[in-house]
Amino acid sequence: MANYSTTTPLDKLNIFSLKGVQMKTFHITWLTFFFCFFAWFGMAPLMKIAREQLHLTKDQVGNIQIASVSATIVARLLIGRLIDKYGPKLIYTWLLVLCAIPVLLIGSSHSYLSFLLFRLAIGIIGASFVITQFHTSIMFAPNIKGTANATAGGFGNAGGGAANVFMPMIAAGFTGLGLCSTADSWRYAMIVPGAMLLVCAFLYNRYTLDSPQGDFKNLEDGNVKSSKNTFLLAARDYRTWILTIAYAACFGVEITVDNFAPIFFTDSFGATIAVAGFVAGIFGWINIFARPLGGIVADKIGKTWGFNGKTFLLAALLLVEGIGLIYFAKSGSIGLSICMMFLFGLSLKMANGATYSLVPFINPLAVGSVAGIVGAGGNIGAMLIAFMFKAKAVHSTKDVIENGVTVQKDLIDYTGAFTLLGFIILGIGVAVFIFRTVMAQKRTGMEKLILSTDK
């Protein structure tokens, strides 16, 4: 039975409970993370409208997509060190308030440069993931960390899928109410996620604590916070970097799909913005069960086969992801592409959960910094993939009939980019499989930590 003492990490996750600071923090954390992702990818399903109104070229769209994931790299590295020192509550509150500003103001953009800078600034909100994983890790015992981290991450990541589904509806709602034209609807729609970030900042600051023992500023001992340079502790461990590469291959791809899938479905299959957003949203909603499933399976495997077993699971999931991506790109029909997207999406999001089931055991004194470095790896992967997509994208034009009038539309084909990406992920999966034995040679006492919670 779970212990809800305010000073004890929980050894059981009951997602239907709000009892105790641990579960209250868990729910506020994943909900806040959900709206962070909703705000981060709020523009993705509306890019077609913004692209046409601002007359953006293929290369400019590519640069914007790169910018949207680039700032998060530095932010995640910095955030990891800050939360180790100052605690998640204070850092998360300020992150939410600061990032709400570009989300609210991106609608004022009337040029490529201003739009690019706002998308760059909004990307900082991606650092919220590091805080979510740290805060969840500190609230739960070692035997359940993987499950708790993956569940919080999965529920939160679903915000990206929710944005693809609901942002076109929100934009259409503003147009339907007569508040703006269709061309300007994306400007008004972005006000909604910006306002939600401010609401979340209030809830987080008011109703959470840094740890079961209390806020870091009130703690005198070093049981929770550390005065050591936790970034160096994390960076010196080679397993941190192997997980960083693995996370680039799963979460980096997830961000890529969140950003590019709507355009892929509209330009490759002629889907409307609403349909493309809904279909791409399916990919995001997989997070609700797939990422938690990855953490649960990893925890169960870890009890029997330890660190090595968890790493084997991660390698296998990456291999399936790579195969699924290749067939997704070559599907040729929207129906088959949706099926393949579900397949590689399931393995990809389980890999996300499996990766962060390993993170808390790299170095218990530097969980925030390890989470920050690995998390930054996901965005480095997304940035590099975005450069590759920009290079591999094929521009074309097509005559379409709109309201009885023939209009020439600029289209972007990402088929070749998705195919190449699939082969790259296959290669990383093989590399992780080879390194899993090497990783197992240096253990962190994970088995001892798990056994200690069973006594």
Question: In the prediction, which pLDDT does 448 show?
Answer: 44
253 pLDDT band, cuts 50/70/90, is very high
Question: In the prediction, which pLDDT does 403 show?
Answer: 60
Question: In the prediction, which pLDDT does 401 show?
Answer: 58
Share of the chain above pLDDT 70, in %: 90
d(CA 271, CA 268): 8
pLDDT reading at 409 higher than 50: yes
- Mean pLDDT confidence for 15-32: 93
Question: In the prediction, which pLDDT does 445 show?
Answer: 45
- Mean pLDDT confidence for 311-333: 94
Pull the structure tokens for residue 206.
């008011």
pLDDT reading at 294 higher than 80: yes
Which letter does DSSP use for residue 364 in this model? G
pLDDT in tens, 343-397: 999 999 999 999 998 888 888 778 889 999 999 999 899 999 999 998 998 887 7
pTM confidence score:
0.81
- Mean pLDDT confidence for 425-437: 87
Half-sphere exposure of 183 (CA within 13 A, CB side): 6
Q: How many CB atoms lie within 10 A of CB 15?
A: 14
d(CA 404, CA 420): 39
Question: In the prediction, which pLDDT does 453 show?
Answer: 38
Share of the chain above pLDDT 90, in %: 56
The DSSP-derived string for 2-69 is ----TTS-BSS--TT---HHHHHHHHHHHHHHHHHHHHHTTTGGGHHHHHHHTT--HHHHHHHHHHHH
438 pLDDT band, cuts 50/70/90, is low
Pull the structure tokens for residue 232.
């160096």
d(CA 403, CA 406): 8
Least confident segment among 20-29, 126-135, 255-264? 255-264
d(CA 98, CA 198): 9
Cα 415 from chain centroid (whole Å):
23
Between vectors from CA 223 to CA 222 and to CA 226, what angle results, nearest 5°?
45
d(CA 136, CA 150): 9
pLDDT reading at 437 higher than 60: no
Distance in angstroms between the alpha carbons of the first and the last residue of the chain? 13
Q: How many CB atoms lie within 10 A of CB 115?
A: 22
Residues in the chain: 455
Question: In the prediction, which pLDDT does 220 show?
Answer: 60
Question: In the prediction, which pLDDT does 22 show?
Answer: 92
447 pLDDT band, cuts 50/70/90, is very low
Which letter does DSSP use for residue 214 in this model? B
pLDDT reading at 2 higher than 80: no
CATH architecture of 20-215+229-454: Up-down Bundle (1.20)
Which burial class, exposed, middle or buried, applies to 220 when counting CB atoms under 10 A from its CB (0-12, 13-18, 19+)?
exposed
